[in-house]
Structures are given as structure tokens and as C-alpha cells.
């Protein structure tokens, strides 16, 4: 997604669940997490002992696609969005779901999370998938000069080709990098 599309998406998050929805999207766009990982998070993974937002979140292997534990780093803007959401919540139970299901209070399923994100994208007028936030995160890192190997590590990809498939046409970045060489 472009910066404009990300802004459209975030602006589509309003109403009773607006802050929650922005926080869910922030974990994808500002952290690169998969929707199933987002839906399985709890407060203890997000908060430091002083209740500030952590700079990174550890997702255990049981909640990861590849079944290996991974540390996701989050942008400062992402931390602000998460903090805004948490300030609106009453829950003090650190092992409770970060995004409880409105139906039963337990963890929201990955399918429900994916559907929620797709609905938000439709509301924003975007024709894209629930996985687009993760791809947007990866592309933003590339555009900011981060190497493909580092991006691959940030996304917990085992195969760099998977990362490359997220990034689209790399020739633009290669051309810009060469054009900017000056001695």
C-alpha cells in the first residue's frame, strides 16, 4: 500500500472499535506481524513492567507460522497507536487477549482477524488482502534503505525468495542506489 492508502485505511477506523482496529493494523503495518500472530497477543507481550510499550515483541513458536520463536520490532508511531488503544482499555490481566473476541472475550480467531482487516480495507476503498499490511511494512523498510536480508529476518522468513516476493520490483531501488553514488 502507498502512504496515502495506509492513511485511508487508518482513517476508516472510527467508532466503538476504532482504536482497537488501528492497533491491529499497526501491528501489521508498523511491525510486520501476521494476522494470526496479532490475534494471539496478550498484554504481557506488549508492556514493560512500568506499563510502557516494549520496543519489540516476542512471539513464541506455537503462535508462529514456522513454529519458531521470533522477535518483532515496532516503529515509534506503531507504539503510539498501541498506547492509545491500551489507554482506552480497562483490562489489567496481563495474560488476557490483547484483542478479545466481542462474542466470548477469548482470543479472536485468525480468520475473524483477517475478515476484520479485509472489511476495513473495503471500507477504506482499497482492493487488497489482509496480508497487505505485512507487505507494506516490508516495502517501507526497503524504501528506507534496509537490505533484503534484514527485511527477511524482520519478517521471520526462512527463505529470502519469500521476502523478495513481498517487495515487488527491486530494480527501482537498485537504479536509485546507483544514481545516488557520488565520490
pLDDT for residue 171 is more than 80: no
Residue 45 and residue 126 share a domain: yes
Instruction: Provide the domain limits for residue 96.
Output: 3-130
Residue 168 and residue 97 share a domain: no
pLDDT for residue 66 is more than 70: no
Number of separate domains in the chain = 2
Confidence of residue 131 (pLDDT cuts 50, 70, 90): confident
Confidence of residue 36 (pLDDT cuts 50, 70, 90): very high
Residue 123 and residue 38 share a domain: yes
Residue 121 and residue 66 share a domain: yes
More confident position, 135 or 169: 135
Residue 170 and residue 156 share a domain: yes
Residue 51 and residue 24 share a domain: yes
Q: Is the pTM of this model over 0.75?
A: yes
Residue 62 and residue 20 share a domain: yes
pLDDT at 96: 86
Residue 148 and residue 111 share a domain: no
Distance CA 97, CA 170 (A): 38
Amino acid at each position: 500500500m502507498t502512504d496515502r492508502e495506509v492513511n485511508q485505511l487508518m482513517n476508516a477506523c472510527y467508532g466503538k472499535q476504532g482504536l482497537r482496529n488501528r492497533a491491529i493494523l499497526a501491528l501489521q503495518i508498523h511491525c510486520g506481524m501476521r494476522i494470526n500472530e496479532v490475534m494471539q497477543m496478550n498484554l504481557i507481550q506488549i508492556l514493560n513492567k512500568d506499563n510502557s510499550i516494549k520496543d519489540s515483541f516476542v512471539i513464541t513458536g506455537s503462535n508462529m507460522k514456522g513454529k519458531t520463536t521470533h522477535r518483532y520490532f515496532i516503529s515509534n508511531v506503531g507504539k503510539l497507536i498501541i498506547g492509545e488503544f491500551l489507554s482506552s482499555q480497562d483490562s489489567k490481566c496481563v495474560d488476557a487477549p490483547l484483542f478479545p473476541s466481542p462474542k466470548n472475550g477469548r482470543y479472536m480467531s485468525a480468520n475473524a482477524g483477517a475478515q476484520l482487516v479485509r472489511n476495513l480495507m473495503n471500507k477504506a476503498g482499497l482492493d487488497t488482502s489482509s496480508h497487505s499490511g505485512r507487505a507494506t511494512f516490508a516495502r517501507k523498510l526497503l524504501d528506507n534503505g534496509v537490505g533484503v536480508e534484514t527485511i527477511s529476518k524482520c519478517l521471520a522468513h526462512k527463505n529470502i525468495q519469500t521476502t523478495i516476493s513481498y517487495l515487488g520490483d527491486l530494480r527501482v531501488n537498485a537504479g536509485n542506489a546507483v544514481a545516488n553514488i557520488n565520490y
